Amino acid sequence: MKHPRPQSVLLAATFLFGASAASAAELNIYTTREPGLIQPLLDSFTAETGTKVNTVFLKDGLAERVVAEGESSPADILMTVDAGNLVDLTEKGVTQAIESTALTEAVPEQLRDANGHWYALSMRARVLYAAKDLDLADFNYEDLADPKWKGKVCIRSGQHPYNTALIADYIAHYGAEETEKWLAGVKDNLARKAAGGDRDGAKDILGGICDVAIANSYYVGLMRSGRGGEEQVAWGNGIKVVLPTFKNGGTQVNISGAAVAKHAPNKAEAVKLLEYLVSDNAQKIYAEANFEYPVKPGAAADPIIASFGELKIDSKPLVEVVSHRKQASELVDKVGFDN
């Protein structure tokens, strides 16, 4: 979902972060998150603490920019979507470990770096969209390869990061050999070529092309709420959502998250913001802004998302899942999934 980008967000960091950047009353964020999704959170933090938050939106090249700036970088917090991006930032040496009881208590262990370099702030689940007349109360990811679903499954490209993450999680559970067999079975069950977006799965179920689709949870909120346009309301209301799990695990999730930059000039304020972002108030804003799941146990999801039932997060650490992504991508090509 696109949002207008505030002009100030797109200005160069050197313009935004002047001599006052080192002030304890200011905080500087580099982010790949759409400004419209995080601005309500930053405004709320400023209102509560008085700390001014400057933001630079970067569509890509976040790690490369911080590396190039070196010790003179004004960035305090690096905020991004996808666990792989957070792991990449850590591996490139542009983050630092922090200790925070508030963060470790609020963020489940598998959703944060073991050494405290990054923390999840919100989640989206890879769920099953299903035709409303299907008698289907539960589902396992393994079932997608069951021949009974032949010609009934819709999904976007296997090379899309949403799907390589799911495939990588499958590898973490079963290994590459079993994952290849499963992936070939899923391909055999496709109702159409693996293509389009997640919302196309809902549209095609409503259109009778497929019975089930794999897609992200938050799109249902966007469709049913009308934020995606009037046509998409029918797509969202025309499906039901099942929270699939691995037979020996839970539901696959991905995250948005953040890390404190290695040379953060305002480290104390950066930690305070991360702690605020896992507070009850901020987690509620996350839930309302983009229909994301809160990471904090017990925090309320948006009613549309909560209607799916209780989310049982898969136990595999995201760091382990991310380590299998290259192999997942190779398997997609090996079985010709997108052909």
> Residues within the annotated binding site for Fe cation?
218-219
Backbone dihedral region for residue 282 (phi beyond 0: left; psi -120 to 50: alpha; all else: beta): alpha
Q: What angle do CA 298, 115, 320 make, to 5 degrees?
A: 80
Provide, for the chain, the percentages of residues in helix, strand and coil under a 3-state DSSP scheme, each rounded to the nearest 5: 45, 20, 35
* Residue set of the binding site: 218-219
CB atoms within 10 A of CB 152: 19
**CB-CB contact of 211 with 131 (8 Å):** yes
Cα dihedral 289/292/296/298 (nearest 10): 90
Q: Which single residue is written with the structure tokens 């070529």?
A: 193
Comparing C-alpha atoms, which of 324, 288, 64 is closest to residue 177?
A: 324
CA dihedral for 337, 255, 231, 207, sign (positive or negative): positive
Q: Do residues 205 and 213 lie in contact, with contact meaning Cβ atoms separated by under 8 Å? A: yes
Helices (H), 209-266: 218-225, 230-237
Q: Are 201 and 155 in contact, with CB atoms under 8 Å apart?
A: yes
Q: Nearest CA to 76 among 275, 268, 260?
A: 260
**Cβ neighbours for 212, distance < 8 A, ≥ 6 positions apart:** 128, 129, 130, 131, 134, 136, 139, 149, 152, 153, 154, 205
Q: Which amino acid is at 27?
A: L
Helix/strand/coil for 294: strand
From CA 298, how far away is CA 284, in angstroms rounded?
11
What is the separation, in whole angstroms, between the first and last Cα of the chain?
A: 27
